[in-house]
Amino acid sequence: MLAVYYRLGKEAKLWFLLVMSYVFYGFWNPWLCSLIFLSTVVDYICALRIDAATTRRERNSWLGVSLGMNLGALGFFKYYNFFLNSIEGSLQLLGAPTDAVSAWHLDLILPVGISFYTFQTLSYTIEVWRGNFKADRNFRDFALFVSFFPQLVAGPVERATHLLPQYKLDFKVTRAQVYEGVYLILLGYVKKVCIGDRLGRWIEPHFATPIDNGPDALLSILLFTTQIYVDFSAYSDIAIGLGRLLGYDIRPNFNLPFVVPSIPERWRRWHISMGHWFRDYIYFPLGGNRHGKARTLLHIMIVMFLSGLWHGASYNFVIWGLLNGSTMVGHRLLLPVLRPMSNAAVAAGKVAETAYFYLCCWNTMVMISLINIFFRSDTWEVAKSYVHSLFLLHPRQWVDWLAAGAPLLDHYGDGLGFMLLVFLAHESQRWFQTKERILGNRVAWALACTVMFLYVCLYGIKGPEFIYFQF
């Protein structure tokens, strides 16, 4: 593909990318292309009409059309059956018949990436409505913005203000872009097929049915938290790397989120593009932190509730979002206590400061992992069994596990080894800027890329699709 792409002129390149993006998306199911095309046409027209509108009412009306179409499609495909199931559950609790509701269930296919491209195209019409961006009259460029294949199905969620202007520039790919692109793509494949898929294979049986062992549950959920980081960041690495090779800059999506001292800090560094979307289009319009502490905490809970619902049509995801919100609210409330502790650690010297930092990071890792029980569990029964095994079984199970020499380590040893590897790689980037050093030295770059390529070829396995494809 790149050999053909590089030989084309500027305009032909853009048409080629548009066609390839639709071919790429159509591999899942060709009819899905009609849905993304409809979304593109509606938002293209709405943005032009908003730009041309002479009254506030007219601008609001066309924004309403865009919101209604996009959120309506997302709601129908993602939440229609969830809504009916909720009604059925309520009727069952009341002892009422459910046949009439059951008849309305539909066998729907969730279009891959619909949550991502819906939010991406909505940001465009909202920014035009706000007057921050002029509607693009070039339909091809806008259609490519919506469907750009490297980041189409799992982000990063792009902004029109960042990506669309790049289509107007003369095509240019520098040697530095090629180096970084190849490096990021190979790094993404190592994360996915050599680490993430292996972790997934080890822990899959422990989420297939309810669990009744606390140590087993704890190790499984710690490894899942590692898996989802390498899996999701792998896709972002590959997407950004492909963008570099095609001559475009895609926004970053992760900034060292695996080892962080608090959950608010983790959310500032995790899935950055989506976090900024919720910040700019939900949190700030609600009032942000401008209306006192109580309203600020309420706004955080609303955003995290919607974030959970965005991830999936399941009460497990709703609980996951609310738990994340609760921990963020709790952190804010505890800041008067936490700040003096942090200041005392800093005053005690570098060793104490570093020890305190990593102690906070471990606490955050455990808390995130416990919350992720509801993210990973496919059913409410499995989620409940994890909570029961970790918190309600007799504490003697932990003593027996340690007294027996921690036999579960025999089963999880390789997984914990990969978890340690991810930790070390993560921290080497924090302290030594490993990526920048490698990209700045041709020999180091060639060696690193060769090692990663061989590792993928020799140790990569065929695993499931990227976790975030389901959203």
The token pair that represents 286 in the structure block: 């609600």
| Apex 304 CA angle, 300 and 310, nearest 5 | 145
Whole-angstrom Cα distance, residue 212 to residue 214? Answer: 7
Backbone angles phi, psi at 322, to 5 degrees: -65, -35
Of 220, 197, 227, 258, nearest in space to 427 by CA: 258
SS3 state of residue 103: coil
Catalytic residues: 311
- Determine the straight-line distance between the first and last CA of the chain, rounded to whole angstroms: 27
Of 417, 319, 334, 416, nearest in space to 374 by CA: 319
> What burial class does residue 55 get, using C-beta atoms within 10 Å of its C-beta: 0-12 exposed, 13-18 middle, 19+ buried?
exposed
Of 202, 205, 199, 216, nearest in space to 404 by CA: 216
Whole-angstrom Cα distance, residue 123 to residue 63? Answer: 11
CA-to-CA dists, residue 96 to 100, 168, 185, 320, angstroms: 11, 60, 55, 30
Give the single-character DSSP code of 138. Answer: -
Of 196, 315, 333, 313, nearest in space to 262 by CA: 333
| Apex 305 CA angle, 331 and 360, nearest 5 | 25
What 55-59 contacts at long range (C-beta under 8 Å, 24+ apart), as own/partner pairs, is 59/129
Whole-angstrom Cα distance, residue 370 to residue 222? Answer: 8
Whole-angstrom Cα distance, residue 131 to residue 57? Answer: 15
Backbone angles phi, psi at 209, to 5 degrees: -140, 165
CA-to-CA dists, residue 462 to 59, 194, 196, angstroms: 49, 9, 11
Whole-angstrom Cα distance, residue 264 to residue 266? Answer: 5
Q: Which residues contact 163 (CB under 8 A, 6 or more apart)?
A: 145, 148, 248, 250
Whether residue 46 contacts residue 122, with contact meaning beta carbons closer than 8 Å, is answered with: no
**H-helix or E-strand containing 301?**
helix 293-311
The token pair that represents 1 in the structure block: 């593909």
Q: Which amino acid is at 103?
A: A
